[in-house]
Structure 1
């Protein structure tokens, strides 16, 4: 049982209005409802979407709002109908853009089926996992996207997931290409591709990341600065197998178009931003845009729940490794400067993480 009373306040970094400035505020600690957990947030990681919501006024319609969806902490209270968790458990979860479920605060609610225990990594490392892993998993393995949904609004390659029985090494002998493998999402796409048995696993990145990406499962790392002709030549030297699956974790116009050109007829390209492809619908090639939220809609929740049910085991066996971390100072107050760094493309090779409990 939680020692917190329903009237207690917590510190939170609040976005008060569309395109407003973040404000450190005191807001009530929420109470878990049926199927939920109350978490004490020990670490929350930053994502580009957080600054885009503030600067561009996208996605969020209701204000004030608490952002942040990469969350780790300890279970503080347990809602009705929840089994398998105890107060004090170390956990990680993907939050929702909502005042009760955002990560940029000291306490937050989490859906129990989208929460996993973690025992062998730090809170900071754990907070780097939810959004990146969820985006990669949904982009590769969601099989039940409704037919009336535009795949460029929400789609998936539709592979069989490696965390299900019979999924490990299911795609052995098939090649895969991952653009931007050193990004947060790219690292998890790479690790999932390894679990699925893809080989070769070809990645693009800065070459100083070669050893690190090979440790995660890349068989080949190609310089991301190559021209398209040079990239194409390099890949042909690596494999003659068709490239039927490409995951573009960067999804700038130049990477999308290069990926589409490299994609084999009948193959599928997963992108994480809106399509900028000039020559679509050639040779039966599919393009799908990933919607990286495992809490909703229902087809994502199904994938997310199954993944989180097995995530603790994947972490314990080292099959999923977290991103590298840079901890921001001053708790929640440090988030503002961190988001500015993300906006100015001044972060490389690490995930920025704040510790809300250290807020003065």
Structure 2
């Protein structure tokens, strides 16, 4: 185990931990469940026991068959992010599983449905546990051609790509594009170039696929050379190695787009110091740069002349957004996404299954933190967690 993890038992009901064997789908009678939490601000990870929540009106209870890891999970532990205030804090925002109970007023979903959804940074909605709650209107159904493990790779990556492209151009919003399923949206941006930094990241893979549905061409992306076949299979038309010096990236993009429209949209799915500056330089005046990590911005706009004014949007990438226009788009997304997955127009990330259930998460997060994961989504199966 890493030094960032210790086993602890915090049982809100004061009794001994119960078996992790699942109850029948029609009768979720477990009162407690295992969860993985940050035990205190900037503290270690620990296995805890918590109660199983009941779904309220408009909600469903989901037995989590798979949950995926995201960089934000280790970043919250390392930084003590301000949007996490209660500890122990259960993390996790990617989940796929089976509906086991529905709340009042839910009609679109039924007990037994295979679903996936994006969690949130509260113990009730987080996904590093065996059962979780979600608002029913932002739950997607899993088509027969997609496994639970694959489906768990979708919510956060797709959400960040989706909000970053189609959310309104406001703080924590997006570039304000018309979504493919909206009137005139399919192929609307034909002939317009887009540059995606980090095309093989989870978010980048979905940006490429959505850009293809929206008609963008060329679709230019950076990634590690060994991921070139992956990004081109998803729709990228041109590949640039992530190790290319910034000045060479700019010249390569210029050569690719020579004679065509300038680059008015850049999506930085990495948003580190090494990418933000060159991403801004690639962008044409009047264009929009979308960043995925709102707490960092390495672009010193004061050094840019006013004549090259460019819009920088720090997207938060969640369909739980309290801005009505973005939440409404999220509801639309989850009502449409099943068909796109079934047709193959949207493909989930490749996955790597970690052993040990929830107890395998801390080591996986250390791998993410050390940049030891490339082109795959790390997934665990919560009900494989040992006693």
Which TM class, normalised by the smaller chain length? over 0.9
Correspondence 1:283-294 to 2 at 5 A: 283-294=308-319
Offset at 1:282? 4.7
Unaligned runs of 5+ in 2: 1-24
In 2, the alpha carbon distance for the partners of 1:220 and 1:175 equals: 11
Q: 2:101 aligns to what?
A: 77
In 1, the alpha carbon distance for the partners of 2:183 and 2:142 equals: 22
Deviations for 1:24-73, whole angstroms, at most 9, x for unmatched residues?
12211100001101000000000011111112211311122211001000
* 1:21 maps onto 2:39 in alignment: no
Correspondence 1:296-307 to 2 at 5 A: 296-297=321-322, 298-307=324-333
Identify the match of residue 164 of structure 1 among 165, 182, 206.
Answer: 182
Deviations for 1:262-289, whole angstroms, at most 9, x for unmatched residues?
1111111111122211235552311111
Q: 1:358 aligns to what?
A: 384
Q: 2:228 aligns to what?
A: 210
The SS at the match of 1:215 is helix
Deviations for 1:55-114, whole angstroms, at most 9, x for unmatched residues?
221131112221100100000100111112111111000001111111110000011111
Offset at 1:346? 1.6
Q: 1:148 aligns to what?
A: none
Q: Is the 8 A contact 1:180 1:250 kept in 2?
A: yes
In 1, the alpha carbon distance for the partners of 2:169 and 2:135 equals: 21
* 1:57 maps onto 2:80 in alignment: yes
Offset at 1:296? 1.8
Deviations for 1:299-332, whole angstroms, at most 9, x for unmatched residues?
3211111111101111111111111111010111
Offset at 1:16? 2.3
Q: 1:155 aligns to what?
A: 173
Offset at 1:144? 6.8
> Aligned residue pairs: how many?
352
Please tell me the root mean square deviation across aligned C-alpha atoms, in Å.
1.4
In 2, the alpha carbon distance for the partners of 1:164 and 1:314 equals: 14
Q: 2:289 aligns to what?
A: 269
Q: Is the 8 A contact 2:250 2:281 kept in 1?
A: no
The SS at the match of 1:92 is strand
The two structures have a TM-score, normalised by structure 1, of 0.94
Q: 2:238 aligns to what?
A: 220
Identify the match of residue 66 of structure 2 among 23, 36, 43.
Answer: 43
* 1:9 maps onto 2:32 in alignment: yes
Q: 1:136 aligns to what?
A: 161
Q: 2:91 aligns to what?
A: 67
The two structures have a TM-score, normalised by structure 2, of 0.88
Offset at 1:254? 2.7
The SS at the match of 1:25 is strand
